[in-house]
A = this chain, B = another copy of it.
Amino acid sequence: MASGSEVEKLHSRIRELEEELRRVRSTQDTHRSKIDKMSAEVVDSNPYSRLMALKRMGIVEDYEKIRSYTVAVVGVGGVGSVTAEMLTRCGIGKLLLFDYDKVELANMNRLFFQPHQAGLSKVEAAEHTLRNINPDVQFEVHNYNITTMDNFQHFMDRISKGGLKEGEPVDLVLSCVDNFEARMAINTACNELEQIWMESGVSENAVSGHIQLVKPGETACFACAPPLVVAANIDEKTLKRAGVCAASLPTTMGVVAGILVQNVLKYLLNFGTVSFYLGYNAMQDYFPTMSMKPNPSCSDRYCVQRQAEFKLKEAAQPKPEVVVEEEKPVVHEENNWGIELVSEVSEEELKEASGPVPVLPEGITVAYTIPVTKPTSGVTVEDSEQSLEELMAQMKNM
């Protein structure tokens, strides 16, 4: 039996602890409440005031439209996590995140993740942080490797049905992965689904990177030609090889995430000039741009099919009488900065490679060349009868 004062002490201690728990929790999880409609009101409490100001500044016509879009981010590492955070802070409608990695202290040299998240899955940790930052965004996270057969099917399913309105496709897929196999899986999926996507990459030595917009059938896909990288980089396939530890910098990854999401905003909200390829050479602060047509003999049969469809669509369209964007100077559709065309890859290597030899502006080279292992020339949609399984198996052997 206890005295009344002893019991009172225990009750008082419970009240104390409850109060402290509330306080500690509140500093951790006090996120703002949801906001139904974006407002342009200029008050300190409005998280959208500086974004809605883009309308008043004459940059974006309809900023609120951002809430109607869904973006899938594949790879939530140094580039993908910052990409997801930028989109979240911009008020994107829905984000799908794909990654199978765990947060490690070794990731702390890049932005976004914090030491206390070490051990958590990247998608889980990211979702928690991002929800606190902006509860208006819808999140759907998948903690798996998209390159295994089952996961790849599920990934395709979510890309084609995981939009804001379930059953509708996402608006854009962003590749923020760090290996060739995952990039090729995204390429395969997007060619089949006719899904526009953007690719991003950072070199193993941490001082260059790039972004690339891929429109199936209209621009070169990842199987059309060897991926383009900035400057003389080391073979990307070594990235995840045992014993090799790639260097990375928060600066380079922050810049690449920034130019990637900027390109996303320009593409979705229809302002400025969307870049097809933008490189970043950090050693010399050089930012080459270019674009590349698809390869008619691409080994991806869906790419070849999309090319045929695109040609039909183009042919069917009446010649445009008024070019809508005629007042905007197009800076990088052609190489009009007087940049010399100097390829850093030998003639022999380029001859060995499948696909046409791309015209490479100074500072851009191919990551590696893909040896021609089968006859690819003359392949048409009709006579290319490879199954997805065969393509996947083929990719794994690359």
Contact = CB atoms under 8 A, between A and B. Distances in A.
A359 interface: no
A275 B4 CA distance: 74
A148 interface: no
Copies per assembly: 2
A134 interface: yes
Given A50-B247, A89-B110, A32 B261 contact: no
A377 to B, nearest CB: 34
A77 to B, nearest CB: 11
Interface in A241-290: 243, 245-252, 254-255, 257-259, 261-263, 265-266, 271-273, 275, 278, 282-287, 289
Contacts of A110: 50, 89
A24 B26 contact: no
A224 interface: no
Given A31-B116, A89-B108, A106-B44, A206 B285 contact: no
Interface stretch (A7-15, A154-162, A164-172, A184-192): A7-15
Contact of A85 (B50, B111, B255, B282): B111
Nearest to A277: B285
A109 B26 contact: no
Contact of A255 (B17, B132, B258, B328): B258
A80 interface: no
Interface stretch (A54-62, A346-354, A367-375, A378-386): A54-62
A114 to B, nearest CB: 6
Interface in A169-208: 204-207
A199 to B, nearest CB: 16
A247 B82 contact: no
A82 B51 CA distance: 18
Contacts of A394: none
Q: Size range of the interface on A?
A: 35 or more
A25 to B, nearest CB: 6
A30 B103 CA distance: 14
A205 B63 CA distance: 14
A20 interface: yes
A251 B265 contact: yes
A143 interface: no
A294 to B, nearest CB: 22
Interface string A102-119: 001110111100111010
A312 interface: no
16 contacts: A1-B3, A24-B28, A27-B28, A32-B118, A46-B105, A46-B106, A47-B115, A50-B245, A53-B245, A85-B250, A89-B108, A90-B109, A284-B332, A285-B331, A285-B332, A338-B338
Given A59-B205, A275-B285, 14 more contacts: A1-B4, A2-B4, A42-B243, A49-B245, A50-B247, A56-B247, A82-B111, A89-B108, A89-B110, A111-B111, A255-B262, A273-B285, A285-B331, A285-B332
Interface of A: 1-4, 6-7, 10-11, 13-14, 17-18, 20-21, 24-32, 42-51, 53-54, 56-59, 82, 85-86, 89-91, 104-106, 108-111, 114-116, 118, 129, 132-134, 204-207, 243, 245-252, 254-255, 257-259, 261-263, 265-266, 271-273, 275, 278, 282-287, 289, 328-329, 331-332, 337-339
